[in-house]
Amino acid sequence: MKKLLFFLLLLPLLSEAQNYVDLLRIGYGQTFNNDFAGTESSTFVKSFEADLTYPVVIHENHALITGVSFSRNNLELFPGSESTSLYSTALKIGLASTFNDTWSSTVVLLPKIAADYQHITGDDFYMGGVALLKFQKTEHLKYRFGIYATSEAFGFFTTPIIGWYYLSPDNRFEMDMSLPIAADVNYCFGITTVGIDYFGIGRSFRLYGDDSVSNTYVDLSSLEFAGYLQFNALRKSVLLRAKLGYSSNNYEVYADGETIDLGVSAFSFGDDRMQLNPDIRGGFFLKFEAIYRFHIKKDKEEDATRLDD
């Protein structure tokens, strides 16, 4: 009975036309080759990400959102240099609220520490967050409007978010759009799903190397486009995904203290910084992801059936 009540409370807070929540996501990828502009040198970019989300119901109309995300990118920042690992660890602390059958919201704070982790100081701490207002247009369509903002080593960055979630009546065609940050369009054939996705956002990492004082930082401009093939295991609760795509990620190195006035989406205002390393050109990448997906409606109906028995 307690389990059934938990799902009944959780469902209106976490579903956005979709009836699931991705609790855990793990991914590993590598580019085939990234050339340094104006040189004959190149590098490979290896990436690892892990993201955990754990919602806690505190009221029939409110749920606390908790979690943590971790990422590691490894590459050469200068031609012929040793590989550098760039780390980011972020906490997720927020609140999801339902106001009525039409309107709901999600507000999440995203404090993080981002650096090469050779040393960690107070300068490596950044505060960010996202706020979304969601409008349930129909049973299969929900719109979302919001804003993402964060402090970075290069200054303050923000972007508006406009998007929607659509799931066809037969539960096969799905669109999950949060532009300009992320997009996912896919079609399910049963045990397999094919899709295309996009992810783009700006981040920064402070560099220390063997010194206890940081003199430089990395400004990462991330744009990734990919197609994927997904295997749906354990009744679509475990998703195994293989992605092939193109990444235009550019890891620009700047001296500490050189910042921009403001970053808004793809635009930078007051940017007169001098880049210390050559541009790193984009390249194709291969990535594998594993996702644990919790199906709220399915489990709720199963619990109700058990109570009726």
What residue spans define the domains of the chain? Answer: 2-308
Burial category of 217 from C-beta neighbours within 10 Å (exposed 0-12, middle 13-18, buried 19 and up) = buried
Reported as a single tens digit per residue, the pLDDT across 104-133 is 999 999 999 999 999 898 999 999 999 999
How high is the mean pLDDT of the chain?
88
**Residue 121 Cα to chain centre, angstroms:** 25
Burial category of 152 from C-beta neighbours within 10 Å (exposed 0-12, middle 13-18, buried 19 and up) = buried
- Lowest average pLDDT, out of 8-17, 26-35, 101-110, goes to 8-17
State the CB neighbour count (10 A cutoff) for residue 117. Answer: 17
Non-local (6+) Cβ contacts of 63 within 8 A are 9, 10, 13, 14, 55, 56, 57, 95, 96
Rounded CA separation 151/71 (Å): 18
Reported as a single tens digit per residue, the pLDDT across 227-241 is 999 999 998 899 999
Tell me the whole-structure pTM to 2 decimals: 0.87
What would the 3-class secondary structure string for 170-214 be? CCCEEEEEEECCEEEEEEECCCEEEEEEEEEEEEEEEECCCCCCC
Write down the pLDDT at residue 11: 38
* Position 89 confidence tier, pLDDT thresholds 50, 70, 90: very high
Reported as a single tens digit per residue, the pLDDT across 183-200 is 999 999 999 999 999 998
